[in-house]
Structure 1
């Protein structure tokens, strides 16, 4: 039993030597209790020595890992050893107390703060049973004096970090002269061990209970059941401590108390500090025995993980010798280039699952960011009707136009195509930025050992990307310039003037039909009202009714037909099919007939083209002529039609160009920037960096990384040593 506990103590010492105790939960007994619960007195009675700091407020401010080791020779000298003082032995237990206070202040300070870093104390004595206990700070409610305001939270978090581990046995200390339901230690233990499987209760101060009361129900397990039970003890009083009452006398007084007490006489053999020590020794032994297979599996896993981590740091031996250094650099260059290409292709094994990156991000830029940016541009944005009419008038010079001038269409559509340039160039920049991000994030732990090499790799790839940025942007600009250089009105998808006019005519007829239907319904409603009025006056006659119906129908037909329909189409109207007198752009014509002038209205007016009479409206447009002021002129019906025609053609042609640009820009970026970079990155790296004169500079190892590798190697050695220790006991 002692050997197995000492083996665990050795394992704990090994793990604590490099602060690795958190990675491996070892079997241990954790002592929990509120301040003034008698927790320190319990430990001192078990050791049978005064060695713990005493005073008001929080005295224990760091976890104390107390390893008790039995010396078989009864006349052997007792002494203690601290892990932080290495092999120094403390024969005076007063010196042990002062060393605990000094080491506590060193890390926790003098302001009553606490620290999670444990103090390891090993005591050798013939009076103790081999045992390991962890003494934790006492629970407190309110800060006192210069204690931190959140001292209760700090202590609770510290205690929880120990008792939540499944391999910890909780020793919950509670004074018997207080109600058990108010016990802070039992409340805390129940949170992590609700079934009470790994909690052992200790009742202190049984001798201070009120007369006529006892804790027999608790000690018998009837009022608060715990699998490991409750054990009652009687500590030394404050007077005994002040008078330095010998521990042997204190133990004798405790035994006498239980044997002579009427309530506890029957269970005296299961009470007292000596019984508590034996129970803890047995409980710890059984617990260690049960958890050793689990510890072995855990250590095996830790060894495997640490070996893998150490492999990531690389072997420092490879940095010596020209051949070794050259092969190392070449391997790292190749790995960096492969990682860069894999990130673009989407074949990297270390891709993020939280956000889009690499090739997926490039795809998103092409299809979402760039596509939405193009679609968000209206074909006729910033293009008012006045702008269109002004362009038409300016393109005709001093004469009125016979047809819609094509030069006006060219002048108006080219600035609209120019609007596609900004989102196209921004698309190039976004892809470039993503490639730069890939470049900076490429690399593994082994490469991180050499910060100068990594910086050079990033610098070379960044320079390559910058070189490709300019020609890619220039080419994308040229795509826009090419589209603006020649307005191809013969494009198979371009509707042309005939298609535009047909659309306008169809839309006009649709609107006219809707208006006619509304008017017919209105007139029918009016006639129905008239008929009702006639009936009301007694003048209802069938013939009159028929007459009213006939009138209604005639009105509807007249409204629907308007003026006589002309057979000339919009196409003939705008492109010369109509007679000279039929062109409103030329104005009313004057012809001499029999020596007199006759004024003829145009035989084909805009109203007949629209198939209904449109009331003439005058629109005054303002044209800004620099500092020359403003000029205002009326707008004709013909110009309204021409404006709508030009706007329709611009929208149609702009959509054709937008579709071309949305297809060609991503292709250009992939060819000139992305594919070129991924195909030439490795050659560029080798050409720029694989030079013997650069080996020494590039392979200067990062000091922090070297320290981490050293710690990792040390941790691996500790895990292997711990595994051997556990292996001997399994």
Structure 2
């Protein structure tokens, strides 16, 4: 049990020397109270030395971790002999053996290793200087503690943490928020479950207004780990005492209250020794009528003994939890270090292994992301191979299916192509040349979506490349950059042949129009579809007519093709095409074209009858019909034949093209519809082939080719000994984090070893 407090002291030194904070939450006694409540006097009485700064306002501006270490006679003598050999004259920090033997004790600061202070006035000065160095001169506070060890044969093994006194109003150069700063610092220490709270309160003030007890109650409402200290009992009004408080009737605490009497300000000014002060304290309690009954539970010596025993018991109770926490910290730190790899960069023989492992992990991560085998699968969005699947089956196919087979192809374009392909004579059958001319530009509409599909897949592979690897990749930023650039070059190399092959697919489809394909509709199928739509349209019109005219001729029509004849002879025929209607020409257009009918087709002109009065575009009137006379009835000379026309044929040269294109017979309308039907059928046929072939080409030439070659490319490009030093340069932040974890693990292992030797 005697080793428990020294063990905690060693652990505190270890963690503060290497880490700077108490990560283990070591058991400790935290001293809290308001300004001028007597905290410093209590601590000096326990130590038996004047060593704490004094003055007005906040004097303690940094936490002071005070470790009291009891030295037995033989240990003290041996220590003095060792110190004589190491003595120096560093600003009074060490003295000769003769002076040190008179002092019977010495002090050491953690921030000044191997320097002993036998003059405790120098200890006070060092505390003030160290406080000024860190906390500044404006009376502000700082959380960084000062560690002080006091070795003496007159002290008990004990560890105390002295905190700044709580103040209400800033004075002088103190910050305006000094109260909140001090309260936050105190709460940080007393809120730890392993801390014992030593609440110091003056007895000459109402105990319920004690700031130390108020703060303690916030974190320890049941008072299980709070011990009270009453100071200034000698200053209470005459005839009063603190027995109600000491008995627990006013403010119950499980650990109770201990009364003390410290030196007054006049005693300090008169340099009354602590030895005399302790004698006066004992005499006060022994002679006081109220306290002499409990004199054995009063005074500084009883307080120190109680605190030492309390701390030992507390350490014993909390040590198993500390050991378990250490085991957890060791496991977590080892796991974090494993993320940096088991090989050390400092060993040049292991750099090649580190590089190979990094390349292997990067390649495997790249392939796994595409195949859907990655260990880090996102749940918020599609990624990797799933996005490739979505590009092929959703984006690409939807885009192709949304293309209109007759996009940018007007009826006028089709009619013009038919006329141009027939030349100077009419064809007996549908022109195949017109179909070939018209269908190829429509097939070219499939090319842009195919190119875009290749680009989308390439971009997704580049994204997969940038997200490949693991946490260890960020450890070597230059290596990570080199890996990404190498794979990016591989993807760019595979992009070009993929793009060319996809372009070839479209060119192949346009190079040979296979009208013999089993899935192609053909002329016969197209004719059937067109006639079926005409019959359906005729039926709809007849139904509409019978609904509006109740008297209907029920004479049976013996001509099975009469429906088509009726449509052809009707002046307001409307031809229904797969995606649009043919233009309905009015009577004005028919009248205007009668002149050409007489010139280019007499039969058509006879069917339509005489031509009404009309003005051509050149402004010449057409007032009378033109009679085409036979040779027997024509009495005019042949040379005057042109004079018989109201206008000259040369005047109509600008009207021939538009009038010929706009005037379509039933046969011509049928030809246009057939061409539209055939183009649509062949376009859909080709689109099915492209939807199936393009993803296969991309997967073969871009995706799978990159997957198969990625590892070999990385090794051949980067695994060169002259590149080891430049590629395996650690990131500074990660390097410092790794070194920090290495230090932590070393501290944890040492602490665990210390505890194992005792527990």
- What TM-score comes out, normalization by structure 2 length? 0.68
1:324-369 deviations in Å (ceiling 9; x for gaps) = 55455444443443344344444455x2667658xx4341354279
Q: Is the 8 A contact 2:405 2:683 kept in 1?
A: no
Question: CA offset at residue 172 of structure 1?
Answer: 3.0
1:148-184 deviations in Å (ceiling 9; x for gaps) = 5555554444434433332222223344455555554
CA, structure 1 residues 431+141, in 2 after alignment: closer, same or farther (shift >3 Å)? farther
Match of 1:622? none
Aligned pair partner of 1:129 in 133, 139, 156 = 156
Q: Is the 8 A contact 2:38 2:202 kept in 1?
A: yes
Match of 1:51? 51
State the alpha-carbon separation in 1 of the partners of residues 18 and 417 from structure 2.
88
Question: CA offset at residue 100 of structure 1?
Answer: 1.8
Q: Which moved more, 1:483-492 or 1:642-651?
A: 642-651
Matches within 5 A, 1:534-545: none
Matches within 5 A, 1:332-343: 332-343=358-369
Match of 2:135? 108
Q: Is the 8 A contact 1:374 1:420 kept in 2?
A: no
What is the SS of the residue equivalent to 1:122?
strand
State the alpha-carbon separation in 2 of the partners of residues 194 and 665 from structure 1.
74
Match of 2:28? 28
State the alpha-carbon separation in 2 of the partners of residues 372 and 278 from structure 1.
81
State the alpha-carbon separation in 2 of the partners of residues 185 and 560 from structure 1.
113
State the alpha-carbon separation in 2 of the partners of residues 346 and 18 from structure 1.
45
1:372-416 deviations in Å (ceiling 9; x for gaps) = 5874899369999x9845645655669999999868974885575
1:98-123 deviations in Å (ceiling 9; x for gaps) = 22222233333334444333221101
What is the SS of the residue equivalent to 2:18?
coil
State the alpha-carbon separation in 2 of the partners of residues 117 and 302 from structure 1.
23
Q: Is the 8 A contact 2:372 2:384 kept in 1?
A: no
Match of 1:138? 165
1:725 aligns with 2:754: yes
State the alpha-carbon separation in 2 of the partners of residues 36 and 568 from structure 1.
126
What is the SS of the residue equivalent to 1:120?
strand
Match of 1:197? 224
Match of 2:487? 461
State the alpha-carbon separation in 2 of the partners of residues 596 and 662 from structure 1.
52
Matches within 5 A, 1:563-712: 579=568, 599=608, 667-695=696-724, 697-698=726-727, 711-712=740-741
CA, structure 1 residues 319+97, in 2 after alignment: closer, same or farther (shift >3 Å)? same
CA, structure 1 residues 430+505, in 2 after alignment: closer, same or farther (shift >3 Å)? farther
Q: Which moved more, 1:308-317 or 1:191-200?
A: 308-317
1:438 aligns with 2:467: yes
1:118 aligns with 2:114: no
Match of 1:367? 390
What is the SS of the residue equivalent to 2:3?
helix
CA, structure 1 residues 721+640, in 2 after alignment: closer, same or farther (shift >3 Å)? farther
State the alpha-carbon separation in 1 of the partners of residues 257 and 673 from structure 2.
97
Question: CA offset at residue 5 of structure 1?
Answer: 0.9
Structure number with bigger Rg: 2
Q: Is the 8 A contact 1:420 1:480 kept in 2?
A: no
State the alpha-carbon separation in 2 of the partners of residues 271 and 565 from structure 1.
134
State the alpha-carbon separation in 1 of the partners of residues 562 and 302 from structure 2.
115
Matches within 5 A, 1:184-263: 184-207=211-234, 215-258=242-285
State the alpha-carbon separation in 1 of the partners of residues 248 and 672 from structure 2.
99
What is the SS of the residue equivalent to 1:134?
strand
CA, structure 1 residues 434+279, in 2 after alignment: closer, same or farther (shift >3 Å)? same
- What TM-score comes out, normalization by structure 1 length? 0.71
Match of 1:65? 65
Q: Is the 8 A contact 2:366 2:465 kept in 1?
A: no
Aligned pair partner of 1:273 in 282, 300, 307 = 300
State the alpha-carbon separation in 2 of the partners of residues 408 and 160 from structure 1.
88
CA, structure 1 residues 460+58, in 2 after alignment: closer, same or farther (shift >3 Å)? farther
Match of 1:15? 15
Match of 1:618? none
CA, structure 1 residues 242+365, in 2 after alignment: closer, same or farther (shift >3 Å)? farther
State the alpha-carbon separation in 2 of the partners of residues 354 and 456 from structure 1.
29
Question: CA offset at residue 284 of structure 1?
Answer: 0.6
Q: Is the 8 A contact 1:203 1:232 kept in 2?
A: yes
Q: Which moved more, 1:374-383 or 1:324-333?
A: 374-383
1:80 aligns with 2:107: yes
Question: CA offset at residue 237 of structure 1?
Answer: 3.4
State the alpha-carbon separation in 2 of the partners of residues 656 and 157 from structure 1.
78
1:215-262 deviations in Å (ceiling 9; x for gaps) = 544433334433323334344333433333322333344445555556
Question: Could you list the runs of 5+ residues in structure 2 that have no partner in the other structure?
Answer: 77-101, 575-583, 611-657
State the alpha-carbon separation in 1 of the partners of residues 354 and 438 from structure 2.
65
Matches within 5 A, 1:261-340: 264=291, 266-311=293-338, 312=340, 314-316=342-344, 319-321=347-349, 326-340=352-366
Q: Is the 8 A contact 2:527 2:674 kept in 1?
A: no
Q: Is the 8 A contact 1:81 1:89 kept in 2?
A: yes
Question: CA offset at residue 78 of structure 1?
Answer: 1.6
Q: Is the 8 A contact 1:371 1:662 kept in 2?
A: no
Q: Is the 8 A contact 1:370 1:427 kept in 2?
A: no
CA, structure 1 residues 579+503, in 2 after alignment: closer, same or farther (shift >3 Å)? closer
Q: Is the 8 A contact 1:140 1:152 kept in 2?
A: yes
Question: CA offset at residue 481 of structure 1?
Answer: 6.2
1:6-30 deviations in Å (ceiling 9; x for gaps) = 1221122122221164432222122
Match of 1:625? none
1:397-438 deviations in Å (ceiling 9; x for gaps) = 699999998689748855754563575245224313322313
1:95 aligns with 2:122: yes
Q: Is the 8 A contact 2:228 2:256 kept in 1?
A: yes
Matches within 5 A, 1:431-580: 431-439=460-468, 441-442=469-470, 444=472, 448=475, 452-476=478-502, 492=519, 558=549, 579=568
Q: Is the 8 A contact 2:369 2:464 kept in 1?
A: no
Match of 1:620? none
State the alpha-carbon separation in 1 of the partners of residues 736 and 494 from structure 2.
40
1:379 aligns with 2:402: yes
Q: Which moved more, 1:4-13 or 1:362-371?
A: 362-371
Q: Is the 8 A contact 1:15 1:718 kept in 2?
A: yes
Q: Is the 8 A contact 1:136 1:159 kept in 2?
A: yes
Question: CA offset at residue 640 of structure 1?
Answer: 13
What is the SS of the residue equivalent to 1:86?
strand
What CA RMSD, in Å, does the superposition of the two structures yield over aligned residues? Answer: 5.4
State the alpha-carbon separation in 2 of the partners of residues 502 and 60 from structure 1.
106
Q: Is the 8 A contact 1:175 1:204 kept in 2?
A: yes
CA, structure 1 residues 176+703, in 2 after alignment: closer, same or farther (shift >3 Å)? same
Q: Is the 8 A contact 1:174 1:204 kept in 2?
A: yes
CA, structure 1 residues 345+274, in 2 after alignment: closer, same or farther (shift >3 Å)? farther
Question: Could you list the runs of 5+ residues in structure 1 that have no partner in the other structure?
Answer: 517-553, 602-630
State the alpha-carbon separation in 2 of the partners of residues 567 and 111 from structure 1.
119
Question: CA offset at residue 57 of structure 1?
Answer: 4.0
CA, structure 1 residues 649+557, in 2 after alignment: closer, same or farther (shift >3 Å)? same
CA, structure 1 residues 195+598, in 2 after alignment: closer, same or farther (shift >3 Å)? same
Question: CA offset at residue 567 of structure 1?
Answer: 12
Question: CA offset at residue 681 of structure 1?
Answer: 1.9
Q: Is the 8 A contact 1:69 1:131 kept in 2?
A: yes
State the alpha-carbon separation in 1 of the partners of residues 193 and 754 from structure 2.
21
Question: CA offset at residue 68 of structure 1?
Answer: 0.5
